[in-house]
Structure formats: structure tokens, C-alpha cells
Structure 1
Amino acid sequence: MKNADGTKKSRLTNPGLPWSQWQLLDSILPTGGFAHSFGLEAAIQTRMVCEPEDLKIYVVHLLENTGSLLLPFVYSAFQSPNLQTWYKVDKILNATLTNEVGRKASIAQGSALMRTAASVFTEIPSLKVMRQTSLGTGVVNFHHAPIFGMICGLLGFDSGTTQRAYMFVTLRDIISAATRLNVIGPLGAAVLQHQVAAIAEDLSNKWMDRPLDEACQTSPLLDTVQGCHGYLFSRLFCS
């Protein structure tokens, strides 16, 4: 199809959107996710995870817990990507996360994501304004899930893509951590990620579009094990 002036009409309202989506999910984006093992390092040292089959069970439980606990915060921030909603959702999540190690990891990754997004996605000046307005005020903790949802909302993602993307990032990072901890090799990791994809889709659909008051823990043992990370004698990851 062509425009009135004879030029070719773009199929996309925002041709750059898919590229922004892919970049947000790209491992090269410096958001700090690969510095965290989601408790896997502690699970290995406590012998909860000893072999690839244990790893698959751990990954599935982590995805379930991510969907039940964090997708409601992603979804709420996505729906209203503004300063007031962000502050509110961030405050509720800070009170919800009882695991100190997990809370610090969420803040570290969220702060890095907000800093990176404000620098990369300059077509959305409100990101930089919100970050500068909030730094040093103590009003917001910069938790990862609300910031991810807010950025996706401002970039024009749809709801389903946003929540699946958050699950994908979690799956990507935990399998990367498992590879570096030598629980599984690079090829085995790729196979595992593909095998778990269908489960991740089912879990995404199960916990998608939930309000904040339905956020809950489904795997409290994972939360407990992650809390032991600070007591490990030697550590490769921050959490």
C-alpha cells in the first residue's frame, strides 16, 4: 500500500517498536541480571540441585513463583506507567518481599534497568525525568518488576508480551547462571530452555493479568534457600 504522496506505507505504526522489544530482552543490555542466580547457587551448595533433572524442577518452580508473585506488579505498572503508580506499586512490593537477599537483588537490577532504559530509550524523555526526580529521595526503592512493566508500557508493548517477556528474562538468566555454575553445559542449557518454554507459556497464561492483591508465593522453599546465599563460604553471584 502507498500513501497519498506515492511513498510506500509502513506496515507498522511504530517501525522501531520490535527493535526496542528485542533490545530490552537482549542479554547485552547492561541491567545486571547475570550477577544473580535466583538462589540457585545456594541451592547447589545445599544439595537441593545436584544434576540437570533437579535443575529443571528448580527452574519450573522459579517460573511459577515469578508468575504468582511478580507478574501482578509488572502488570500493574504496565497499565499505568506513571510516577504515582510506580511509587505505589514499588512500595507494596518492598513490603511483600520478606527475603532480604531477594529484595536487594530486585533493587539492584531495577536500578540498573532504570538507568539503562533512561539512557537508551531517549525517545521516551519521561523515563529520564522520572529517574532524576526519584534519585536520592527515598520515596522509591527501584524494584525490578514494576520498572520492567512501566518501561514496557511506555515503549508501547501489549500486556501479554510484557508479562511473557518478564518470564523469558527470568528463564534466560537462571539458565545462564546454571551454565556458569557448571550444573549444565551450554548445549544442554539451550535444550533445557526450549523444553521449558511450553511450561513457561502455561505459567504465563495462568498468572497473567492478576491484580496486586492476588500476588502470592507458590514456592516458599526457594525463597528460604535464596535467603541463605549470604551465609555461603564462597560465592560467584550476588544473590
Structure 2
Amino acid sequence: MGAGLLLLGDSRLPAGGYAHSGGLENAVLRGEVHDLDTLTEFLLGKLYSTGAVQAAFAAVAALTAGPYTLPEHGPWAELDAELDARTASAPARAASRAQGRSLRRVVKAAWPTEPWTALGVSPHHAIVLGAAATRARLDAREAAVLAATNVVNGPASAAVKLLSLDPISVTVVLAEMAGHCDQVAEEAADAARTVSADGDWDRLPCWSAVGLDVCHELHVQEEVVHFAS
């Protein structure tokens, strides 16, 4: 854990996360999220649906990458396709890949000897995050923790700007959500270990959130937005 977790979990990491609200901006525009209570509901819904999927794929990517040199011929394309199939909204897929490209640039600079191109031309963010976690000496569960917290931290940060919420109050919401993130990460890591043992991709979570997909789809139709997703 230690420095590696702090590095990849730092909001100042220049991986493009600050440009994305994870669907929150449209939820705010439509009045579905308007205060701390509705923000909490949004974050919990996102965490236990798409967040569980992101955490599981980050954990599988960590196990695939292993503790040594990143394998060039691992099942990266198959893993990418599986996550693609679990992301119903095209704008959400595009946002994930945009953040994945940004993160890959960062980790390529941090660990230049690793074959990051093996992950694909435009990899999903969770896959890059999981693979990068092992380079930072983190295990599969810690990779899942990173992914789970990333799912809620981004929208929470956006909420401060979009709703002019008190940053301290939003931080309290995130602190109270820590146990939920740990639970999601534990279950994600368990699923990832099972898949790594038997190769059955169907064992990975495939939760979705229709309301969140609608937010992503409507967001790209807006003429003026503050965030990319």
C-alpha cells in the first residue's frame, strides 16, 4: 500500500479525471441531484452498480499484470471487450477510454520500461488503473479500492462546483462512504481471483444503472456543459 496508493489515488494526478463528472452534471441539470442527500444517493447508486464493475475489472487487470514485467501477450483485448460489453452507454464508454488514454500517458512516464501499448490503443480506465497498480506495488484488492473510490470521488468533486456545496460537507459524505467502498472492493477482488483461477469471464459483475446511462446519453446532447461526461 503506502506511497503507491497515494500516488494513483491522488486527485492531482494529471489523468483527466477532473474533466469528468461521471454523469452527475446531467443529473444536476435535471434536478435529480440538488443537495447532499441526493448526492449521497447518486454516489451510492453509482458505486454499487457501475462502480462494482469498475472495481472488479481493475482487480482482474492487476492480477493479469502480475508483480513483475507487464505481460505483452496477456488477455488484454479480451478483458477490454468484456468491460465494453458491460458499459451500455456509448458516451460512458468514450469517457472511460478517454480517461484510460490519459492515465496511460501518466503511467508510461512513471514506468517507461513497461510495454503499456499492450493494453491497446484506447484502453478502458479501470484496466489501465489495475495494471498500473501493480507497478506501484499494490495488490488486486488495493486496485479495486482505487477504482471504487475513483467512481465516487470524481462526481463528488464535480458536485462542489456544480451545486456550490460546502467542500467540507462533501468530504464528510465521502468519509461516511468509505465502508461501502471497502465492501465493493472486497467483493470485486474475490470475483477477480475466481476469474483468474478458472477463466470464466461471466463470473465478473455485470451490474448496470439505466438512470446513469440516460444521464450520459443526454449529457452529450447539451450545447453547454462544464464537464466532458
Same fold per superposition (TM over 0.5): yes
**Where in structure 2 are the equivalents of 1:153-172 lying within 5 Å?**
153-172=134-153
Task: Select which of 44, 54, 57 maps to 2:38.
Answer: 54
Contact 1:77-1:85 at 8 Å conserved across structures: no
Over 3 Å counting, the alpha-carbon distance change for 1:229 and 1:53 in structure 2 is same
Question: Where does the alignment leave 5 or more consecutive residues of structure 2 unmatched?
Answer: 66-70, 196-200
Distance 2:227 2:137 in 1: 33
Q: Name the amino acid aligned to 2:61.
A: A
Cα drift, residue 55 of structure 1 = 0.6
Q: Which moved more, 1:224-233 or 1:54-63?
A: 224-233
Contact 2:52-2:148 at 8 Å conserved across structures: no
Q: Deviations over 1:24-50 (max 9, x none)?
A: 111221000111101000001112112
| Residue of structure 1 equivalent to 2:92 | 102
Distance 2:13 2:38 in 1: 29
Cα drift, residue 209 of structure 1 = 2.6
Cα drift, residue 183 of structure 1 = 5.1
Task: Select which of 70, 75, 100 maps to 1:85.
Answer: 75
Question: Where does the alignment leave 5 or more consecutive residues of structure 1 unmatched?
Answer: 1-16
| Residue of structure 1 equivalent to 2:3 | 19
RMSD: 1.9
Cα drift, residue 207 of structure 1 = 3.5
Task: Select which of 182, 190, 200 maps to 1:209.
Answer: 190
Contact 1:64-1:218 at 8 Å conserved across structures: no
Cα drift, residue 203 of structure 1 = 2.7
Residue 190 (structure 1) aligned with residue 183 (structure 2) = no
> TM-score of the superposition, structure 2-length normalised?
0.85
Runs of 4+, deviation exceeding 3 Å: none
Q: Name the amino acid aligned to 2:185.
A: S
| Residue of structure 1 equivalent to 2:24 | 40
| Residue of structure 1 equivalent to 2:116 | 130
Contact 1:77-1:150 at 8 Å conserved across structures: yes
Q: Deviations over 1:42-95 (max 9, x none)?
A: 001112112211110001011112343222221221111133222221122223
Over 3 Å counting, the alpha-carbon distance change for 1:62 and 1:113 in structure 2 is same
State which structure, 1 or 2, has the greater radius of gyration over its C-alpha atoms: 1
| Residue of structure 1 equivalent to 2:198 | none
Q: Name the amino acid aligned to 2:159.
A: A
> TM-score of the superposition, structure 1-length normalised?
0.82
Q: Deviations over 1:79-136 (max 9, x none)?
A: 11133222221122223322111111101100010110110234xx11xx333x67xx
Contact 2:98-2:122 at 8 Å conserved across structures: no
Contact 2:56-2:189 at 8 Å conserved across structures: yes
| Residue of structure 2 equivalent to 1:141 | 122
Contact 1:91-1:140 at 8 Å conserved across structures: no
Contact 2:27-2:33 at 8 Å conserved across structures: yes
Distance 1:148 1:188 in 2: 28
Q: Name the amino acid aligned to 2:154.
A: D
| Residue of structure 2 equivalent to 1:234 | 224
| Residue of structure 2 equivalent to 1:3 | none
